Every structure is written in C-alpha cells, then in structure tokens.
Amino acid sequence: MGALHAGHGALVARARRENDICAASIFVNPKQFGPGEDFESYPRTEDADLAMLRDLGSDLVLIGTNEDLYPEEFATRVELKGPLVTAAEGARRPTHFAGVTTVVAKLFGLFEPTRAYFGWKDMQQLLVIRRMVDDLSIPVEVVGCEIVREDDGVAMSSRNRYLDREARMRAPKIHEALVLAARAWQGGERRAERLRAMVREHLHGFDLEYVELRSTSSFEELQDPVGPGRILVVARMETTRLLDNYPLDSLSEGTATVHSDDVRGSTP
C-alpha cells in the first residue's frame, strides 16, 4: 500500500533476483479498512516509493486509484469462509480479509505473475492468500519472505511512523517477548498457556489484543503439547496496532535484521 520501507525493499530485491521481470503495485486499498480505521491518514509517499522501486530495479509499477481498481460498475467480492478468516485479525477486523482477497485477486488478474512475494509479518494474510490461490486454481506461487527488523528487533511496518518517541522506545519489548517464548519452546516448554503467559508477563503494561500460537500451514491454534508453528502478538500503542510473530521451530527462520543502508533506496 505504499509508504515503502526496507521490509518492502527486501521483497522487491528477492523478486528481482529470482525472476526475469519484477513488478510492484502501490494502492491504498479502501476495501481492507474497516470503519474508524486509518484509511484517510495512512501515509502516502508516492515519490519516495517510486524512487526506491527504481533503485531496486523494479521493471514496472502499477499505481492505482480507487476509480481505476473499482470502477462504478465493479460488483465482485472475493471472500473466504471459515476460521482462517474469522480468527485473530478476522475476529477484530471482520471485513478486512475480504478486502485483501478482492484486491489481490484483481492484481493477480492484471499482472498474471509467476510468483508473488508477501512477508511473514502478516502471517494470517499470507495464509489467506495461499488458500485463495489454491481454491481458485490461480497459477501463481505465493512466496513467504522473512520478517525484516530494525537493529533493535522491531518489525518494520509503514505504521511505525505513527509511534511517538516514548512508544518507539518501548516497541522492542514485543520482539524480546516473542524470542523469550521461542527459547522456552526450544528448551522443552510445550504448554500453550505458559508460552502465552511468558509473552504477557514480559509485556506487562502493554495493551495486548491477543497472544496466540498458530500453525504455519493451516493457521489452526496449537494445542498442548505445542508443536512447531509461530507465536503471534498484537499490541496497541495508543492508536497504532503493532503486529509481530516469531517461529517456534528456529530462532533464525522467518526473521532478518537489516540496517538502513542494506536495501538500496529504502526510506527512513
């Protein structure tokens, strides 16, 4: 949706390495915002985004307006059913994933890509798109890419720019809490409630929306004894929701730390 940062840059850089042609889209999709969410205030940095994509070697960029993607006669909605879209984010943002799948299905139709690259930070979204592709037999490989983090562990997000100084200083504790639980799991802790409690205890004083353990293939909730998967957390810091997750099966898989100059053209 634009407001690109080095996490997006890593997706583009990987796509550039693995394909003959690399394309990107910039579109703040109104259909995935619910009432009272930040559609109007969502950061829009088109000039900087285009410069970044140019530096990274993207061959083309689609920049859409609402009228381009959803003309007046537009009448289609692509919507999944079941727990994959009603749990976690879906329980709190009930129209969100239908907005995501509708726009992604349209973008796949426009681009006809061989591969599409999405980050593991939005784990549920990645699995929703994979399910849509499987169900509709869309001939595209959906590639999940590691979470890119700041030096202090904060997962990169366009919404991080909403954080004031105090909130930004507290934000690294979210990553610390997830790593703490992952290390406990590696050390043999298999009780789901104990792993969740470790995160909640480390984040005492945070406004937590949820801490969950989920399968990386089905998004089913992991039960005792907890097997490999990911631990997810959403913390609200004033009006900003920070999403993060961490793999239980490895302390390195699914995550990467970059410096500001590691991805050419990255915005601050």
Q: Which CA distances in Å does 127 have to 18, 40, 100, 144, 216?
A: 21, 27, 12, 9, 8
Distance CA 153, CA 133 (A): 32
DSSP at 226: P
Q: Among this protein's residues, is 8 annotated catalytic?
A: yes
Could you tell me where the DSSP H helices lie in 20-171? 46-56, 66-69, 83-86, 89-92, 96-111, 123-135, 165-170
Place of tokens 């042609």: 21
- 26, 65 in Cβ contact below 8 A? no
Distance CA 147, CA 243 (A): 11
Nearest alpha-carbon partner for 122 in 258, 265, 30, 8: 8
Distance CA 1, CA 46 (A): 10
Q: Which CA distances in Å does 136 have to 79, 106, 139, 250?
A: 11, 13, 9, 32
Which one of the listed residues 8, 96, 175, 204 is annotated catalytic?
8
**Rounded-to-10 torsion of CA 151, 154, 159, 160:** -60
What residues are labeled active site? 8
